[in-house]
Amino acid sequence: MSLSNKVAQLGRVMTDTRWWPFYLQRRVMAPGTRDRMAGVVAGRLRPHASAAAAGNPRARELRATGISHFGPLLSDAQAGELQRYFLGKPVHDPYRDASRRFLPDSAERHPDSHIAHHDALDIIRAPHLFGLANRPDILAVAADFLGCKPTLGYLASWWSYPTRLGAQQAEHFHRDVDDWRFVKLFVYLTDVAADNGPHIYVSRSASSPALRRIRRYDDAEVVQAFGRDNVLELTARAGEGFMEDTFGMHKGQPVASGRRLIFQAVYSMFALPYGPKSAVARIDEVRLPDGSRPDPWINRLYLSR
């Protein structure tokens, strides 16, 4: 990181209090200690706790292996609708000039851009996705796993592309260290085969103390530490999804052919610094599939009253 970028980041940290607990918890990388601290935090947040009973089987699976497969969460027609919607919305490359916008399939994308993100408001307005992130069964898993009522800390949808550079950024193995405890929902919006950039997850790595420094790791290090049998390549049809504890080791396989579109919802305890600094829509502008309003506390970072 250049000196000017370091100065800019210092300014953001000093003026945005969301960064303070974020950096505090990143100093603790022992899984057992993190889990105990998360329990203390969840206890303080318990006034907001879900009414759903503990013992959710998917939450148990997440605690045991770090991943739970949901299968189809969107129909073929819904996934196709979302592809068409997002193809018409501008994106940006967060690793280059993030102010420069281009359409996902346009020639304006830099040839070395391996990903391109959609804006928060376009994701909120996309068909099906906000309702999916607020689906009662998914929120119940998140609440049980977190031990408190979840916060919808971050929504993302992005395209991944092949480049001449090979693996870049999160296409190397790493751990996410977003909060004391957090869980992520991923839904493929395009078909993902072995050459389309499948997500790779290392089963049972979230609770392991191995390779716990915050850095990128190569494949050989990960296989040596966790065994090849625990490295899962997640290929699936458009519309299929899974929840994951991404404190566990994971990466996105570089795209070799075509391009991949994915949706992600992050359920956290606190506001995340890379989420929206202020709400992007009003709660009375949004309806869930059953006609109800979204929970104002869960969605407070994205929706204002």
Residue ranges of the domains in the chain? Answer: 3-304
Residue 211 near residue 225 (C-beta atoms within 8 A) = yes
Please name which of 265, 260, 185, 198 lies closest in space to residue 234, comparing C-alpha atoms: 198
What does the alpha-carbon distance between residue 146 and residue 138 come to, in Å, rounded to a whole number? 12
Give the per-residue pLDDT at 51. 46
Evaluate whether 264 touches 247 at the Cβ level (below 8 Å): no
The stretches in the chain having pLDDT less than 70 are 1-14, 46-54
Q: CB-based contacts of 14: which residues, under 8 Å, 6+ apart?
A: none
> Which CATH homologous superfamily contains domain 3-304?
q2cbj1_9rhob like domain (2.60.120.620)
Q: Which of 90, 107, 88 is nearest to 99 (CA)?
A: 90
Structure tokens at 209: 């103390």
Distance, CA of 42 to CA of 55 (rounded, Å): 16
Structure tokens at 291: 């006609």
Say what the pTM is. Answer: 0.93
Dist. CA 206–CA 216, nearest whole Å: 16
Residue 295: Cβ within 10 Å count: 19
Torsion of CA 300, 301, 303, 305, to 10 degrees: 50
- Give the position of tokens 């391109």: 116
**Rg of the chain in Å (alpha carbons):** 19
Amino acid type, 85: Y
